Amino acid sequence: MKWTAIVLILLIVLTGCSKDKDYYGGITKDKMTDITNDSKLEYLHEFKGHTDNWGAMMYFYKTKDSEKVSTRGYLIYNGKDELPTGEVTVLYQVDEETGSFGMITAKQNPPTYAFLFSTSTSPTSQSKVKVVVQTRDKSETIELKMN
């Protein structure tokens, strides 16, 4: 009985200490100091989502002197298999607005890819934001939620 209690306590302690996987490569809104330190910043919204292979973040921000919403996006490869190299197509959807771009991936560490675009859509917590990553072998859809 004593050993059972000790084993249970050890399991509780060990599972309580396990760290969640960082699908986002440590990229967070508070590290966007080039944006957050802008005195003309009207807002900065952060959307995040992930699959087992990819983490995706999109930051939508608008300054008071602009009519357009700027967007900065990041993809982080987290898969267990080797990073797919070659051409990767990224499609994104923000509510009804869609767009795409292609990129060439190469082995790098960390495998992080950035993309920028402007949009007329000003997303809210109710917005539907998706990123589709298409490699030579597969396609993955990532739904992003506002944080």
pLDDT tens per residue across span 8-53: 444 444 444 445 678 898 888 888 899 999 999 999 999 999 999 9
Domain presence at residue 72: yes
The residue whose two tokens read 């050890």 is 10
Domain presence at residue 10: no
pLDDT at 1: 55
Phi/psi at 106 (nearest 5 deg)?
Answer: -140, 160
CA distance 137 to 87: 11
Q: Give the length of the chain.
A: 147
Q: How far is CA 94 from CA 67, 122, 128, in A?
A: 17, 9, 6
Domain membership of residue 73 as a residue range: 22-146
Domain presence at residue 2: no
Which amino acid, 52?
Answer: D
pLDDT at 5: 42
Q: How many domains does the chain have?
A: 1
Domain presence at residue 11: no
pLDDT at 7: 41
- 56 class by beta-carbon count within 10 Å (0-12 exposed, 13-18 middle, 19+ buried): buried
Domain presence at residue 88: yes
Q: How far is CA 91 from CA 39, 61, 64, 106, 109, in A?
A: 32, 20, 28, 19, 23
Closest-CA residue to 125 (of 140, 147, 104): 147
Domain presence at residue 7: no
Domain presence at residue 139: yes
Q: What is the pTM of this model?
A: 0.79
pLDDT tens string 98-138: 888 877 776 666 677 777 777 777 889 999 999 999 988 88
Domain presence at residue 1: no
pLDDT tens string 45-92: 999 999 999 999 999 999 999 888 998 989 988 888 888 778 888 999
We report the CATH number of the domain holding residue 42 as 2.60.40
